[in-house]
Chains A and B, each alone.
Chain A
Amino acid sequence: MALIELDDVRRVYDLGEVKVHALRTVTKQIELGEYVALIGPSGSGKSTLMNTLGCLDRPTHGSYLLDGEEVVSMNRDQRAKIRNKQLGFVFQNFNLLNRTSALENVELPLMYGPRVSPRERRERAMEMLAKVGLADRYHHHPSQLSGGQQQRVAIARALVNRPSILMGDEPTGNLDSKTSREVIELFRELNEQQDITVILVTHDQNVARNAKRTLVLRDGEIVEDTIDFQLAKAALEYDPDAPEPVDS
């Protein structure tokens, strides 16, 4: 059994007069310990797929088994619980709480999970921050940290509850190339050394290239699923509406 099993997943936004098919049909499996990049042009359904995989959104059709549990039929609270237990999120704009120390930001997921004593909470948060190289920044607020450091706090927060999946929505989108590389390196390390499943949505080819498997989306469907990044790149650049190149 795969960690993630999507079967004919569709997502339709009903905007009254028009229905928007954000995901037409997606049937895919992702195993534990994979490192997957989701790429595709704007409006291809990447974010919708990401939100669906992250249990933030619910498909309108199909089945999504996460670790054997059906997510589609879950209510809000059950999905909240599964986000807390199984998933860690890293966002483009970091989404740390302002005026709240790095340590407290990292402690947050532990507050919403099963009861953990304040002391243990603190210790685990410290341990996690140390792991991402911020042992000297416990009490700094986000505004006192660089972008790369903020994103590392976010990664520590995503991992503090020991989830099986780490999800990144354009995690390097707001970082310069050097810190981008550092963050990508961290993702790889986590994937290889701790067997954490990493799923990233990205525009950045460097990030996508770093992944072991790439899914290419177009118009709400997966058009390529490959471990060869060149094929993925070709699929991404392929324009079905462009006139056939004429051999001369």
Chain B
Amino acid sequence: MSFFDTVRIAFRALLKNKMRAVLTIIGVVIGIAAVTTIVSIGQGASKLVSGEFEALGTNVILVFPGQTRRGGARQSGAPTLTTADSESIGAECPAVLAASPIVGAAGQIIYGNENWNPKQMQGVGADYLTVRNWELEAGGFFTKSDIESNAKVCVIGQTLIPKLFRTVNPMDEMIRVNNVPFRVIGILAKKGANMVGDDQDDVVLMPHTTVRKRLNGSPMDNVGIIMVSARGTRQMGEAARQIETLLYERHEIGPSQEPDFRVQDTTEIAATLGIITGTLTLMLSAIAGISLLVGGVGIMNIMLVSVTERTREIGIRMALGARGKDILRQFLIESVVLSCIGGAFGLLLGTGASMCANVLINTYKPGTEWPMIVSLPAAMVAMGFAAAVGVFFGYYPARRASKLDPIDALRYE
């Protein structure tokens, strides 16, 4: 019997029991929809995470001050990194594109009658924008000479404009931070929220020397962290190694000693976060997979009923010359047709559900730009999965049908 005839017969057989077919299909629809939705949301999450890391700056490596030993007492977070370290990382490591020291500060900004506590107030180096892969929307950034002269200038993020300036153009306006006046010389381009949802545009950048001397009042040359960017994603590891070698040398640390700094490669964080989202997706998919399994058992159940009900039909077909494999194929295709119809509707439903999830996420956290992914390969995998469920759960009933004895089958009442 030709394949086309078999499919036609399968459809006809299913149409004879519409209600039953629909109920069986619903099981598969739910299973496939659940899997599709969860995989799509999971992929969206990982995409979001990796997108955040790209937004953080291209290929960023962070150098943290590490533990020090003072008379046998070890302590973490000691100020061991200096501006000179940062400069020499930028100049001497071939795999490093740029490096910038970062000095943290906090305080209230006052402009006219308005005040604002920005999320981040940082003293940075002249190469900071290169490191973060960030653009300016207007104005300029502070130069090396500004840094050397502890100039009281700053560059502000987008969020500050409505908070402090309202309709005034902030360029060249004076703001006061802890009573120190700073002139606004540049405005950063919009960057959006980071992966934890923090607004990255709520920021004020100043020369790190100014922050240290005028705001923090520290006489030392230490910096909080050094932010470095590698020349490319592939050079990350190499850059990290070069930084370590350089700092070992600069800090005169012997091979048997513990280093007083820590190099953190953000790809590690990205990888870890990737593993977390991946595992979560896998776990949820497994749970969704269970519903698909239940759908499959539903198919098996209904196919067994169908085989019993149609024993006589099987006998007739066999008497007329149907071979075992003709019968096997007929019932197998019937169950695959069931599961594929379920798969198609499940895919539609799953895509719809992912879209709803997308809308919901954007409603509760606007600007998250949660990417919605129901890709063609994912859709094909879902359909393939549905067909496989049909084959797997349809095989046993179909085989049972094909093994019937024609005489017994003909006599069956």
Contacts and interface: CB of A to CB of B under 8 A. Distances in A.
A51 B407 contact: yes
A83 interface: yes
A47 to B, nearest CB: 9
Interface in B1-55: 1-2, 5, 12, 16
B162 interface: no
A80 B323 CA distance: 6
A83 B320 contact: yes
Interface stretch (A23-31, A66-74, A106-114, A192-200): A106-114
A96 B321 CA distance: 15
Interface in B187-244: none
Interface of A: 51, 54, 56-57, 76-77, 80-81, 83-85, 89, 91, 95-97, 99-100, 108-109, 111-113, 115, 118, 157, 161
Counting chain A CB atoms within 10 Å of each CB, the highest count among B12, B312, B318, B324 belongs to: B318
Contacts of A57: 407
Given A95-B316, A97-B313, A112-B1, A81 B321 contact: yes
A81 B323 contact: yes
B16 A99 contact: yes
Contact of B5 (A54, A109, A111): A111
A167 to B, nearest CB: 10
A85 B319 CA distance: 11
A59 B1 CA distance: 29
B357 interface: no
Counting chain A CB atoms within 10 Å of each CB, the highest count among B5, B12, B321, B406 belongs to: B321
Given A77-B323, A89-B319, A108-B316, 9 more contacts: A56-B410, A76-B323, A80-B321, A91-B410, A95-B312, A95-B315, A97-B316, A112-B1, A157-B320
Contacts of B282: none
A97 B313 CA distance: 6
A83 B2 contact: no
25 contacts: A56-B410, A76-B323, A76-B324, A77-B323, A80-B318, A80-B322, A80-B323, A81-B321, A81-B323, A83-B318, A83-B319, A83-B320, A84-B320, A95-B315, A95-B410, A99-B16, A108-B316, A108-B317, A109-B321, A111-B1, A111-B5, A112-B320, A112-B321, A112-B326, A157-B320
B230 to A, nearest CB: 66
Interface string B287-326: 0000000000000000000000000110111111111111
Contacts of A157: 320
